[in-house]
Amino acid sequence: MRIEDVKVFVVNPIAAEKFEGIGHLYRRGGINYVVVKVLTDEGVYGVGEGTLHASELAVVATINHLKELLIGKDPRNTEDIWNFLHRATYWRGGPIFKTAIAAIDMALWDIKGKLANMPVYQLLGGACRKGVLVYRHADGRDPKEVVENVRKWLEQGYKVVRAQMGGYGGSGKLRHEPAEREGLPATTYFEPTRYLLEVPKLFEYLRSELGMEVELLHDVHEQLSPIEAAQLAKRLEPYRLFFLEDPVSPEHKEALAFIRSQTTTPLAIGEIFCDREQVLPLFVNRWIDYIRIAPMHVGGITEAKKIMTLAEPFGVKSAFHGAADLGPISQAAAIHVQMSIPNCGVQEWTDFRSIQVFCDLFPTPCEVRDGYAYPNEAPGLGIDFNEALAERFPYSPVYMPQIRRTDGTVHGY
């Protein structure tokens, strides 16, 4: 059996229409989902995804460059192909390269599942649970609105909800400035003080309205310095968070040791980590409770499974990244991996299945019932890609939002 062709597609259904449940940040320019189709000489094909929001075309170029190396290879040799691609260009690692490998790796596992006539999670060790616990996002302009939005998810059966106020950075977002010209991102000005003062008040109110049992978490989105993050984690301790997400930026990962020494609030980090060397110190030093990698950004199913095996002896659970810029194919891959690992925590969730155009483009996204996601039981990843329909939703340029401090200094998004 041989690989005959590798096709790459970019599809942006969100730029064309507006959807309920997709964050407002994504509406400007939409999301360019990168889809790969690996075709074989025996007619079986596999689909994979390599979306790297706002850097999509770099991944497309990398996949097209790697394609020549793949033609003629046996698609069943997923482990060898992963290592071959990882070493093939010498400049191994990094988000663009790892996302390109991930797209191919997912497609190869899809082929393997179709050949075996089994869903991918069965090939990874079988089901460790009935379904994968997910969390949804609730936001609001004030604490009352946040409570209302948390309740909406709870009423729909969701068990874990992320609570933010005023989007990332909350009330610390002091003002917005329009883009210099059409097509460029706007600039938001952020200061941590008001944010640090208001988030504990938000959670005090949430607990007074919802009680202590509901599972709530909060995403700092890397907006704080280590000392500020420690202050926040400590102040949030009485409100029993499920976890505090991305308290600091990856550059400050060693500071997690200090934050941990100050608080028992559980910590989660890792949504922009892409290499196993980045996450291993988090495990062995016991700095975190949840690892937020996404299979799509660490090299695919092959590598995500290994990273979670490395996490297991250190008691670290998965909390895979799953914002709307991680599309339905990568979501399916994440669910297959988390079905098969003993240390599954929670999956961040976007409900693509409730949006018709996603069901038509990607028949069919994973289903959620009563707060748990389920893999499709069809052979492979259980999801497909409608090439013909995708032509109606072409690439549209997207840039990440820009954040600065009030004195004009660049601040990370």
| Catalytic positions | 168, 221
Query: Which residue's beta carbon is nearest to the bound Mg ion?
Result: 219
In order of 21, 33, 320, 372, 395, the CA distances from 350 in angstroms are 7, 14, 12, 12, 21
Q: How far is the CB of 40 from Mg ion (least distance, A)?
A: 37
The pair of three-digit structure tokens given for residue 304, joined into one six-digit string: 């995500």
H or E segment to which residue 160 belongs: strand 160-163
Residue of 56, 110, 139, 219 that binds Mg ion (CB under 5 A): 219
Identity of the residue, 219 or 384, whose beta carbon is nearer to Mg ion in the bound complex: 219
Q: List phi, psi (to 5°) of 59.
A: -70, -40
CA 228 – CA 241 distance, rounded (Å): 17
Nearest approach, Cβ of 292 to Mg ion (angstroms)?
7
| Residue 111 vs 346, nearer CB to Mg ion | 346
Count of CB atoms within 10 A of residue 18's CB?
Answer: 11
Q: Which stretch binds Mg ion (CB under 5 A): 140-148, 190-198, 218-226, 281-289?
A: 218-226
Segment contacting Mg ion by CB under 5 A, of 40-48, 179-187, 219-227, 232-240: 219-227
Q: How far is the CB of 263 from Mg ion (least distance, A)?
A: 19
Residue type, 412: G
Count of CB atoms situated within 10 Å of the CB of 76: 15
What's the rounded Cα separation, in Å, for the pair 33 and 30? 10
Site size toward Mg ion (CB under 5 A) is 1
46 closest CA partner among 81, 91, 98: 81
Least distance in angstroms from the C-beta of 274 to Mg ion: 15
Q: According to the binding rule CB under 5 A, does residue 325 interact with Mg ion?
A: no
Return the number of the residue (260 or 321) whose C-beta is nearest Mg ion: 321
Distances (CA, A) of 4 to 68, 124, 388: 10, 26, 20
- Minimum Å distance from CB 235 to Mg ion? 20
Q: Which two tokens stand for residue 311?
A: 């996490």
My answer on whether omega of the bond before 364 falls inside 30° of 0, hence cis, is yes
Task: Give the nearer residue to Mg ion in terms of CB position, either 49 or 219.
Answer: 219
Rounded to a whole number of angstroms, the minimum distance from the CB of residue 190 to Mg ion is: 16
Stretches 40-48, 215-223, 225-233, 249-257: which one binds Mg ion (CB under 5 A)? 215-223
Q: Which is nearer to Mg ion, 249 or 338 (CB)?
A: 249
Give the residue with the Cβ less far from Mg ion, 169 or 226.
169
In angstroms, the CA 209 to CA 204 distance is: 9
At residue 165, what is the residue type? M
Stretch that binds Mg ion, among 9-17, 214-222, 229-237, 273-281 (CB under 5 A): 214-222
**Site residues, Mg ion (CB under 5 A):** 219
